[in-house]
Amino acid sequence: MPEIKRFFKRSEATIIIGCILLFVVFTLVDARNWYSFFTIRNITRLTAILGLVAIGETLLILVREIDLSVGSVYGLVAIAFISFAPTIGVPFSFVVALVVAATIGLLNAVLVLRGRLSSMIVTLGGLFFYRGVIYVATQSTAPSLTADVTSQWFVQLFGGNWFLGLENGFWWFLLAIIVFSYILFRIPYGNHLLATGGNPESAASRGVSVQTVKTLAFIACSLLAGFAGIITVADQPRTGVTIGQDVELEAIAAAVIGGALLSGGKGSIIGAALGTYFLTAVRSELITLGAPSVWYISFVGFVLVFAAVVNTFIQRRLMKTHTL
């Protein structure tokens, strides 16, 4: 049974089985609604937004770091995009907003790597700090885009629905899965990133610049969170003080459910995407079935721990059966 063993060695094995079970259960319970276009469109949209953040979080978890600030960065970049658009035009505003995101990522990296601080502390500080900036920015007016701005093609590129009636954000998400899977598993940088997460000392001894690898991962994580924010407001240009709240925790949960090990070096982009899909699908279905929304939060907690237990068990088991 080497094929079966090979399958379970993949970090996304658990979540693939989880998603199959999800389909079976929801088909049995609520087929009519589950396969409705409305549900599919809703789930794909939410998966795309959270999934982009979860991909970035996965990159950092892979190198044994974490970014707790993504929820606030997501909100701040979205607000920056909206606020600058009327004065400098949408394309420039898009670029400026992403520069803001990249700068935050770089700042996180510098504080963690140069300052030798825990990424947990640095980004927790960022979570509060950028949320505070959002409070200030939305104090007098909650920025939003006017109809003539949102109808521009550049905004539609991120917020419209051009193919199959699904949001463009979903296609961007699929593109991000492909691009980041390619980066992670098909080019030298990805190999360096996985090595850095697995054994930073060994990676360094082979000439891999652990600092550069991690810095790029921090920047990518912030950029993806910001991009997710832009996609959100390009579709629904409303903001408020709570925009992006709790996104960081859901993204981390999605990454872990998708098979990323917090000990580093193990995880995948597809796993993070499926983990996100699993969470958003369950949330959507619980709402449809009329369950109180508080159930969802408890459910996330349960699935998170359950997935961690299963993944750890599988990894240990596989290593045991393989060694001499």
Partner 1 sequence: MNETRTPLIEMRNINLNFGTVQALRNVSVNFYEGELVGLVGDNGAGKTTLIRILSGMYAPTSGEVYFGGKRITRFHPKLAIDLGIETIQQTVGLCDNLSIARNYFLGREPVKRVLGFIPVLDFARMRQASSAVVRNFGLRDTVNVDDEVALLSGGEAQSFKIGRAVDFRNKVIIMDEPTNHLSVRERAHVNDLALQLRDQGLLVIYITHDIFQVHRLADRIIILENGRKVVDIPKAEMSAEALEQIIRDGSHEAVKG
CB of 185 to partner 1, least distance (A): 8
> Which CB sits closer to partner 1, 135 or 182?
182
CB of 187 to partner 1, least distance (A): 6
CB of 5 to partner 1, least distance (A): 10
Structure tokens at 46: 């939410």
CB of 183 to partner 1, least distance (A): 11
Strand (E) or helix (H) holding 254: helix 247-257
> Which CB sits closer to partner 1, 266 or 283?
266
Strands (E), the chain: none
Angle subtended at Cα 65 by Cα 216 and Cα 106, rounded to the nearest 5 degrees: 35
Give the other-Cβ count within 10 Å of 279's Cβ. 26
Q: How far apart are CA 188 and CA 115, in angstroms?
A: 27
> Which CB sits closer to partner 1, 55 or 62?
62
Sequence-distant (≥ 6) Cβ neighbours of residue 21 within 8 angstroms: none
CB of 62 to partner 1, least distance (A): 10
Could you tell me the CA-to-CA distances from 76 to 21, 83, 96, 207, 244 in Å, in that order?
Answer: 37, 10, 12, 37, 9
Could you tell me the CA-to-CA distances from 246 to 53, 54, 71, 145, 242 in Å, in that order?
Answer: 12, 12, 6, 24, 9
> Which CB sits closer to partner 1, 118 or 202?
202
CB of 38 to partner 1, least distance (A): 38
> Which CB sits closer to partner 1, 161 or 212?
212
> Which CB sits closer to partner 1, 3 or 201?
201
φ/ψ of residue 190, rounded to 5: -60, -40
CB of 312 to partner 1, least distance (A): 14
Q: Using alpha carbons only, how large is the chain's radius of gyration in Å?
A: 20
The answer to whether 231 and 48 are in contact (CB under 8 A) is yes
What are the residues binding partner 1 (CB under 8 A)? Answer: 186-188, 191-192, 194-195, 197-199, 201-209, 264-266, 319, 322-324
> Which CB sits closer to partner 1, 203 or 247?
203
The answer to whether 104 and 48 are in contact (CB under 8 A) is no
Q: Look up tokens 């991962």; give the residue.
A: 217
